[in-house]
Amino acid sequence: MEFEYSKNVRDVKPSAIREIFKSLSVPGMISFAAGNPSPESFPASDMRRIADGIFASAASEALQYGTTEGYLPLRGQIEDRLKQKFSSCSDGDSVIVTTGGQQGIDLISRVLIDPGDTVVCEDPTFIGALNSFRVCGAKTVGVPMDSDGINTDKLEKVLSDNPRCKLLYLIPTFQNPSGVTCSAEKRREIYRIAASHGVVILEDNPYGELRFSGEDVPTFKSIDTEGIVAYCSSFSKILSSGMRVGFLCGPKALIERAVVVKQANDVHTNLFFQMLVSRYMSECDLDSHIESIRDLYRRKCELMVSELARQLPPEVTFTRPQGGLFLWLTLPRGDSSEFFRLCMDRTVAVVDGKTFQPSPAPCRSVRLNYSTPSDEQIITGVSRLAAAAAEYIGS
């Protein structure tokens, strides 16, 4: 039978990044294309001990249905941590545990977006979020990035031009894919603009704990006097991505609606791992574990940056992130898709910058990841990349 798909789903494409995974099986391929944390960031031996303890003392609870809102002790711990580390989560807010950070984005989309509504976001931005918006029938409109976050004049204009905009999606810290962090001044200005247009801000902060240089910048949630910010994040980059445990914090009324949608979506998040995260947070030293991840990524990022600076033709520019997993490389001219293919031919995988565009436009950038390749792979991969860039610019 020919199926008649819903309008929202008919034209949505699978994420190009996950499609690239399939080409990574080419022998000798070095991948800078992943969005994965380093396996060294998983505290596997502590998790193993805790998992065994849950089976020993609480198996019947951990393997049974739980509440949609999430495991109560974990919700409390998340609230406490948001308050302590990010001055976020006020009395007017509540927290729901989600099946990874992705589900937080998807729930907010389903709660707010009618087909034809506009979602405004950074250009470039996270493809997984773009797909959540598109699956809800949203039109996605990008605002170009300056070196300190989106251009606020253009944001003002985009919001004035799109009165059916309900949502402003931002990854203000160590942005995926650009690696850019939005400045504190700019955050206040963006917040003012969003509030004046009655637009909800969805602040996605999966990398917020992974700063390895510079100083922390206040979250949007911490300056949310009007109750317009929903904040999502996860344990994917600090404990385990495969376990799919994230959270969403926002004004109570909004979270109540998100609970109803989550109930219809997956009932609740894997309870065993919610309990595991909760016990990890109370029995282990999460902060010092995160410090070790920061050390690891600082070293890897510095290595990639120094190799890029040493080997690349000088016309090729790139961002120097202060945290997170990614940097963003831009060619002086040409087309990112052509450069992407040249890289793949030289067995180094990157992600074509076009993947991250809210709407099609010329692009000269690609995304590089430094968290997963080994030191040797970073050095060899950058030399392949440099050769590809030299050939591409020369041609």
Show contacts with its own copies in window 164-193 (CB under 8 A): 166
Using CB under 8 A as the binding rule, whether residue 227 contacts its own copies is answered as yes
Nearer to its own copies, 258 or 389 (CB): 258
Task: Check if the beta carbon of residue 214 is closer than 8 Å to that of residue 183.
Answer: no
Rounded CA-CA distance 362/196 in Å is: 32
- Minimum distance of its own copies from residue 215's CB (angstroms): 30
Q: Which of 314, 393, 392, 388 is nearest to 350 (CA)?
A: 388
Nearer to its own copies, 271 or 351 (CB): 271
The contacts of residue 243 (CB under 8 Å, 6+ apart) are 235, 270, 273, 276, 277
Number of alpha carbons in the 13 Å side-chain half-sphere of residue 357: 14
Question: Segment near its own copies (CB under 8 A), from 155-163, 203-211, 268-276, 378-386?
Answer: 268-276
Please report, as residue ranges, which positions from 196 to 215 form the binding site for its own copies (by CB under 8 A). Answer: 198, 200
Rounded CA-CA distance 325/348 in Å is: 17
Nearer to its own copies, 260 or 361 (CB): 260
Number of residues that bind its own copies (CB under 8 A): 85
Nearer to its own copies, 192 or 257 (CB): 257
In 3-state terms the chain splits into helix, strand, coil percentages (rounded to 5) of: 45, 15, 35
* Beta-strand runs (E) in the chain: 30-31, 93-98, 118-123, 139-146, 149-150, 165-170, 200-204, 229-234, 246-251, 317-318, 326-330, 348-349, 351-352, 365-369
Bridge-based pairing state of the strands 139-146 and 149-150: antiparallel
Which tokens belong to 308?
A: 């890029």
Question: Segment near its own copies (CB under 8 A), from 147-155, 254-262, 336-344, 382-390?
Answer: 254-262
- Three-class secondary structure of residue 248 per DSSP: strand
Using CB under 8 A as the binding rule, whether residue 62 contacts its own copies is answered as yes
Torsion of CA 130, 131, 135, 141, to 10 degrees: 20
Among 32, 35, 209, 363, which residue interacts with its own copies (rule: CB under 8 A)? Answer: 35
The end-to-end CA distance of the chain, in Å, is 49
Question: Segment near its own copies (CB under 8 A), from 82-90, 173-181, 250-258, 285-293?
Answer: 250-258
Question: Segment near its own copies (CB under 8 A), from 174-182, 271-279, 305-313, 351-359?
Answer: 271-279
Nearer to its own copies, 35 or 339 (CB): 35
Torsion of CA 232, 146, 340, 119, to 10 degrees: 40
Task: Check if the beta carbon of residue 253 is closer than 8 Å to that of residue 15.
Answer: no
| Amino acid identity at 312 | L
Task: Check if the beta carbon of residue 326 is closer than 8 Å to that of residue 177.
Answer: yes
Number of alpha carbons in the 13 Å side-chain half-sphere of residue 183: 9
Strand order in the sheet with 326-330: 317-318, 326-330, 365-369, 351-352
- Minimum distance of its own copies from residue 134's CB (angstroms): 8
- Minimum distance of its own copies from residue 282's CB (angstroms): 20
Nearer to its own copies, 139 or 268 (CB): 268
Please report, as residue ranges, which positions from 273 to 292 form the binding site for its own copies (by CB under 8 A). Answer: 273
Nearer to its own copies, 128 or 385 (CB): 128
- Three-class secondary structure of residue 229 per DSSP: strand
Q: H or E element: which one contains 166?
A: strand 165-170
Question: Segment near its own copies (CB under 8 A), from 76-84, 224-232, 351-359, 360-368?
Answer: 224-232
- Minimum distance of its own copies from residue 270's CB (angstroms): 4
**In the stretch 74-113, what mask flags binding to its own copies with x, by CB under 8 A?**
-------------------------xx-xx--x---xxxx
Please report, as residue ranges, which positions from 1 to 30 form the binding site for its own copies (by CB under 8 A). Answer: 1, 3-9, 12-15, 18, 21
Nearer to its own copies, 76 or 242 (CB): 242
- Minimum distance of its own copies from residue 212's CB (angstroms): 21
Nearer to its own copies, 281 or 386 (CB): 281
- Minimum distance of its own copies from residue 156's CB (angstroms): 19
Using CB under 8 A as the binding rule, whether residue 373 contacts its own copies is answered as no
